[in-house]
Structure 1
Amino acid sequence: MNSNKHWLEPDWPAPGHVHAATTLRTGGVSSGGFASLNPATHVGDNVEAVRQNRQIIKAMLGLPAEPVWLEQIHSNKAIDAAKSQSLEQADASYADKPGVVCAVLTADCLPLLVCNTGGNRIAAIHAGWRGLLSGVIGNTVAAMGNQDLLVWLGPAIGPACFEVGAEVREAFIEKSAEFATAFKECGNGKWLADIYQLARVDLASLGIDRIYGGHFCTVTDHDRFYSYRRDKETGRMATLIWRD
C-alpha cells in the first residue's frame, strides 16, 4: 500500500494484525466541492459517485468487508459494529471480532482510533466538541473493557483555526478544570480551542497516556483534507480500523 497516495496510515505501535487508515480527499470520482474521494452519503453529493468512492476505498485498502457506517449525530453513543444490522445513529463503534471494519466520517471533527495492546479489540470514534463534552470517548473505552489501550488522533481542525464561544469553554471547564489548557483567548469573547488537547485531557482522565497523532489541520491542508468550516459544501474523510 502507498500511504503517500490517497490515504494516511497511523503512526502508532499497534500490533501487526491491526490495520487502519484515514482516506484523503484525492483519488475518487466526485466533483465540485466534493472532489474527489467522498464516501459520505449525507452531504449532498451524487449518490452513484459516493457508491463508486466507497468501492474504491474498499479496493485500495483491501478491506475484508464493507465498513460499518454510522449516522453520526454528535452523541456519546458507541455500538458493537459486529452486531450492527443497519445504519445506526451513533458516533463510535467497536469490535472484538476479525474482519469487522469500524469507520467514522469527518471533515474537521476529530477521528480517534483505539486498539488494545493485544490487538483483539478495536474502535473508531467521531468526536466533535459536543461528543467530547458528553463523553463519547469514555463510553467507547468502557465498552471495550478499558484495558491497555493505544489511541491515534487523526486529521481534525487545528488549534489555530477552531474558534468557539465562551460558553463552549465554560462547559468544558465546568466538567474539569484540566480542560482550560485547551483554550486560548482570541478577543471579542471568542476562544481558540485545541480539539487534540481536549481529547488528550479526556484520555488522561481515563488513565490512557499512549496517544499518537494529533498534528494535522484539516482547514489549512486543502490539498489533502475536506473541511466543513473552510468550505461548507464539502465531502468527508473516512477513518477506518479492522483486524485479521
Structure 2
Amino acid sequence: MTAYSHLIDGVAGIRHGFGDKTHMMPEALLPWQETLAVKKQVHGIHIHRVEGPAEQCGPADGVLTSTPGVLLSVLTADCLPLLFARRDGKRIAALHAGWRGLLAGIIEGFADMLAKDDDPADWVAAIGPSARPCCYEVDEGLVEDFLARLPIPGAIVNPAYRRLDLAAIARYKLNAAGFQAVDDIGHCTICATREEEAGTPAEHHFAYTSYRRNSKKRALDPAYPTISGRNQHSGLVILP
C-alpha cells in the first residue's frame, strides 16, 4: 500500500514514497538506503542541511539537501511526514511534524530557511499518512492551546469535539508560508486498512504502524509488543 504524491511524481529526477507496515522503507527508495541521512527526531524544529551520504545530523526533525544520491527520510507512526521537492528537481527536503512541531513552527522555520536563497512557490509539498480527525482524539486543553496560539480558523484546527486535524493545520500553514502546490495523501495511520486474504488476523488488516493504536492495545495488555523499530519511513532522493 506504499503511497505516493502525484505532485512529487511530476518532478523529474526524484524518487519518493511513504512507507507502511509491510514496507517500512518504500521499495522505490531501497537502492539508496545506505546513503540515508541519520538523525535523532526530538519533536523539535531544527532542520539540518545534508551535504553527503549517510551524514550524521544529530538531533533534527527536518533535513534538506541539493546533493544527488542522498536519501532523506523521516520516521513516523501517527505524526505528519512532510516531503518537499523543488520543481526543477534540484533540492529536496523532509520534515517530521507532530503536534509539538506544528505548534513550535517547524513549517514556518523551513520556509524562512528557504527564503534566504529560494522561494517556497518554486517547491511542491506532500502531506503523508498520519493520525486524522476521524481517530485523533486529544485532551481538550491541547485543542485550546492550538486555538489560542495559532492564527488559524477554529473549524480547521478542531473539526469535532476533542479532535485535531494535523493535516489541515499543516496545509494551512504551508499555504500561508508560500507553498502553493500541496498534495495530501489522506490516509489515517490509526484506522486505514489494506486488502487481506480471508482468515488473516484483524490486526494484520491495518495498513500503518500507529503509536495511538498500539498504546491502546498495551493499556489492555502490557505484554503486547511496542512499535519500537517499526516506524515507517517517508522519504525521497534526487537521482544521481
Q: TM-score, normalised by structure 1?
A: 0.77
1:168 Cα offset (Å): 2.1
Q: Which residue of 2 aligns with 1:78?
A: 47
**Identical pairs, percent:** 27
CA contact (8 A) 2:45 2:104 kept: yes
Mean CA deviation greater in 233-242 or 162-171: 162-171
Matched, 1:15 2:11: yes
CA contact (8 A) 2:131 2:190 kept: yes
2:13 is matched by which residue type in structure 1? H
| Cα RMSD for the two superposed structures | 2.2
164 and 64 in structure 1: CA distance in 2 versus 1, 3 angstrom threshold: closer
User: What's the CA shift string for 1:98-143, capped at 9, x where partnerless?
Assistant: 1111110000000000112111111011000000111111222332
Mean CA deviation greater in 214-223 or 102-111: 214-223
| Pairing of 1:162-173 with structure 2 (within 5 A) | 162-173=136-147
Q: Which residue of 1 aligns with 2:237?
A: 242
**Alignment partners' CA distance in 1, 2:27 and 2:38:** 13
Q: Which residue of 1 aligns with 2:61?
A: 91
CA contact (8 A) 2:61 2:74 kept: yes
Matched, 1:25 2:8: no
User: What's the CA shift string for 1:128-165, capped at 9, x where partnerless?
Assistant: 00001111112223323333121101110111111122
Mean CA deviation greater in 144-153 or 83-92: 83-92
> Gapped runs of 5+ residues in structure 2?
193-204, 216-225
Number of residue equivalences:
208
160 and 81 in structure 1: CA distance in 2 versus 1, 3 angstrom threshold: same
1:100 is matched by which residue type in structure 2? V
User: What's the CA shift string for 1:200-228, capped at 9, x where partnerless?
Assistant: 11112202231102411000025320000
**Alignment partners' CA distance in 1, 2:153 and 2:232:** 27
Q: Which residue of 2 aligns with 1:183?
A: 158
Q: Which residue of 1 aligns with 2:210?
A: 227
**Alignment partners' CA distance in 2, 1:114 and 1:125:** 8
**Alignment partners' CA distance in 2, 1:109 and 1:195:** 8
Q: TM-score, normalised by structure 2?
A: 0.78
Aligned pair partner of 1:149 in 101, 112, 123: 123
- What SS does the aligned partner of 1:99 have? coil
**Alignment partners' CA distance in 2, 1:133 and 1:209:** 21
CA contact (8 A) 2:130 2:189 kept: yes
> Gapped runs of 5+ residues in structure 1?
28-36, 38-53
Q: Which residue of 2 aligns with 1:206?
A: 177
**Alignment partners' CA distance in 2, 1:175 and 1:208:** 21
**Alignment partners' CA distance in 2, 1:159 and 1:240:** 24
